[in-house]
Copies of this chain bind each other. A is one copy, B any other.
Amino acid sequence: MDKVRIGIVGLGNMGSMHTRYLFQNEVAGAELTAVCDKQPDRLAWAKEEFGDRVARFDDYNEMLASGAVDGVIVNTPHYFHPEQAILAMRQGLHVLIEKPAGVYTKQVREMNGISAASGKVFGIMYNQRTNPLYAKLKDLIASGELGEIRRTNWIITDWYRSQSYYDSGSWRATWAGEGGGVLINQNPHQLDLWQWATGLMPKRIRAFCSFGKHRNIEVENDVTAYAEYENGASGVFITSTCDAPGTNRLEVTGDRGKIVIEDGNMTFWRLRVSETEFNRTYKGGFGQPENWKIDISVNDGMTQFDMGQHKGITQNWVNAILKGTALLAPGEDGIKGLMISNAMLLSTWIDDWVNLPIDEDLFYEKLQENIRRSTSKKKVGLPQILDTGGTY
């Protein structure tokens, strides 16, 4: 294969964005050959933009069967991601899905199983993994510079959303339409980075979600979660859509110091000797380890993805298809952040600890309960971008 022929499903904000750079041939080895959307006006937009050089479909299965594409990028609402990925994999196509991987892990686990059997390249649009700040954080942790991790605190409350935002779509902020709130919609990247950069998945979580705080919505829009890790470390994740102005501050403490990412900058307070070593040998009273405050430059050596985050992930996926190079964001990884997200909701619903991996059947059951009990005054129901057989 010289070129990967790509079909885009879902021509909303994200899908349209992908078509543009692909159509301009900005991803080496890739070609935009098809698009798919249920809405006539989106297909009319595609015809105007791309003429007849790109095939248009209003039926996803037809696009998959057309022979016009080697791989698809899935940009539909959350609930559809696993099912549409599975359909494409069964057709022998490569798949790149938008985040989140899905709404509940049970469904995502099924997708991962089918992917493993398919032998096709399955990626997820975790474009923030190309962000030099988080890539550098991962580097400093994986290389041992920070030492064994002891604490991870992320205050990520700058996801401000007004009531008018929530009112702008009938599916928004409903259990039936999106399956959650700030965790599933705004934080998939952060929940992924939290585990990806640190290399640590929580062992158990105790979380406190508020539903419809200062907003007339039914899903969670304010969350404080406490996490414990296998190595004894602990962490806190705080997020909200009603703080103004919010904060985005990630602090990771290790045996060799502390890293803080805030306002786009990374600071590393590096201990001259590890805390463990200092504590073992120090004989005085109130002393503490000598630390060096270092402003970490995050642009060095980050050329691989410097052409833009989303495009970078697409290029990486195309390279994996053509050359067999490693994926920066394997699709199977999507279950990790989603597992944390599901655990936070479940902990709130059962008002207790949740061990990871979570009880996926219990989560699914509780989610369905919430959908059934929904008293949202909004018209509940998925936007009918695609007819997926009335499954949802």
Give chain A's interface residues, CB within 8 Å of chain B. 150-151, 153, 155, 157, 160-165, 168, 206, 208, 210, 213-215, 222, 224, 226, 228, 232, 234, 236, 238, 240, 242-247, 251, 253, 257-258, 260, 269, 271, 275-276, 278-280, 282-289, 291
Other A-B contacts than A161-B286, A208-B234, A245-B271, 4 sampled, CB-CB below 8 A, are A222-B234, A224-B236, A244-B291, A245-B257
Q: List, sorted by A's number, 28 A–B pairs whose CB atoms are closer than 8 Å.
A: A150-B243, A151-B238, A151-B240, A151-B243, A157-B253, A160-B288, A162-B279, A162-B284, A163-B282, A165-B285, A165-B286, A206-B208, A208-B226, A208-B228, A214-B276, A224-B236, A236-B236, A236-B238, A242-B275, A242-B279, A243-B253, A244-B257, A244-B258, A245-B257, A245-B271, A245-B289, A245-B291, A247-B260
The 9 closest A-B pairs by CB, nearest first: A160-B288, A244-B275, A244-B289, A162-B282, A245-B291, A245-B269, A243-B253, A164-B283, A162-B279
A101 CB, nearest partner CB in chain B, Å:
24
Contacts of A162 in B (CB 8 A): 278-279, 282, 284, 287-288
Chain B residue nearest to A225 (CB atoms) is B226
- Minimum distance in angstroms from A261 CB to a CB of chain B: 13
B-chain residues with CB within 8 Å of residue A168 when the two chains form the complex: 285
Residues of B within 8 A of A214 (CB): 150, 275-276, 279
- Point out the residues of chain B lying under 8 angstroms from A286, CB to CB: 161, 165
In the complex, the count of this chain's copies comes to 2
**CA A157 to CA B165, docked complex, whole Å:** 37
Bound: A247/B282 CA distance, A: 21
A213 B238 Cβ-Cβ under 8 A: no
Q: How far is the CA of A284 from the CA of B161 in the complex (A)?
A: 10
Chain B proximity of A352: nearest CB distance (Å):
9
Q: Are B151 and A153 in contact (CB under 8 A)?
A: no
Pick the residue among B243, B251, B280, B291 that contacts A258 (CB under 8 A). B243
Q: Which residues of B contact A151 (CB under 8 A)?
A: 157, 238, 240, 243
